């Protein structure tokens, strides 16, 4: 198993992509900390981790708060004694025309998607530097760190920030043996896309734009995260891996 002996924290892992990542890391041999802000699914997720034979633990908190983001990392560290991998997966989106975006919704999206990544990563780096150990930070970003997404300006701004943050940290932290990478999902079939999945016409139109002809699954994202968390990716940093079935590079003449 590639991750045997590894301790990983996955934020936002009570459901969806985060839960898929947590379970894949456990199957690869990692002990996993499940994080949630809303409790639904958290106990089931940690039970699935433990069912693989690995140790699991649950922490709660709102990554939109810098203090909470740091505390989540510190609680995970206190439970297992160390952390080797941080997966910043927690994220939100709010749809609105640009002129209708409220400050409240902007703050929510940017605070969860960018501020949370920043301060959880900072807490992770501090504990790695204290113990003089290498480590891995993996951010679940989005194809919209690169692709425009009308109606989701705050979301795109937050993911663009995550893109640049990962590149900057890769350079700054590389001398300490800490790698920082992004995984950028495209259209993934999860609860966050429930409205889309219920509209067969929209799903068909979207599938037409994806060269592989289907929506992704959490497992598709999790497999790339598992690679980046492993020793196989020790020489990989500052990169974004698109998990989108070819959506980002799709161009079609009309």
Amino acid 251: pLDDT: 67
Amino acid 220: pLDDT: 98
Number of C-beta neighbours around residue 47 at 10 A: 11
Active-site residue flag, 241: no
Burial class for 203, CB neighbours closer than 10 Å (0-12, 13-18, 19+): middle
Distance in angstroms (rounded) separating the CA atoms of residues 245 and 248 = 8
Domains along the sequence of the chain with CATH: 7-242 (3.40.50.720)
- Give me the catalytic one of 155, 235, 241, 242: 155
DSSP secondary-structure letter at 192? G
Amino acid 201: pLDDT: 87
Asked if pLDDT for residue 252 goes beyond 90, the answer is: no
The pTM (predicted TM-score) of the whole model is 0.95
Do 86 and 124 touch, CB atoms closer than 8 A? yes
Residue ranges in 30-84 assigned as alpha helix (H): 42-51, 66-80
Amino acid 59: pLDDT: 97
Query: CA angle, 71 as apex, 66 and 76 as ends, to 5°?
Result: 135
Q: Could you tell me what percent of the chain has a pLDDT over 90?
A: 88
């Amino acid at each position: 198993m590639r991750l045997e002996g590894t301790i990983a924290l996955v934020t936002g892992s009570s459901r969806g992509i985060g839960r898929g990542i947590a379970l894949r890391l456990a199957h690869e041999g990692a002990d996993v900390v499940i994080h949630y802000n809303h409790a639904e699914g958290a106990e089931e997720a940690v039970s699935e981790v433990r069912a693989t034979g690995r140790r699991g633990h649950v922490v709660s908190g709102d990554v939109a708060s810098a203090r909470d983001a740091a505390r989540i990392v510190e609680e995970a560290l206190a439970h297992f004694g160390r952390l080797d991998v941080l997966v910043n997966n927690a994220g939100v989106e709010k749809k609105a025309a640009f002129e209708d975006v409220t400050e409240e919704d902007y703050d929510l999206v940017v605070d969860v998607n960018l501020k949370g990544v920043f301060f959880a990563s900072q807490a992770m780096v501090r504990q790695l530097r204290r113990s003089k150990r290498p480590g891995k930070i993996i951010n679940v970003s989005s194809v919209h760190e690169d692709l425009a997404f009308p109606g989701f300006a705050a979301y795109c701004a937050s993911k663009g920030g995550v893109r640049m943050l990962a590149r900057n940290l890769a350079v700054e932290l590389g001398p300490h043996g800490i790698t920082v990478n992004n995984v950028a999902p495209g259209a993934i079939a999860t609860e966050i896309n429930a409205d889309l999945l219920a509209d067969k016409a929209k799903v068909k139109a979207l599938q037409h734009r994806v060269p592989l002809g289907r929506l992704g699954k959490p497992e598709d994202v999790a497999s790339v995260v598992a690679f980046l968390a492993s020793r196989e990716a020790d020489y990989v940093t500052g990169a974004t891996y698109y998990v989108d079935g070819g959506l980002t590079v799709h161009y079609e003449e009309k």
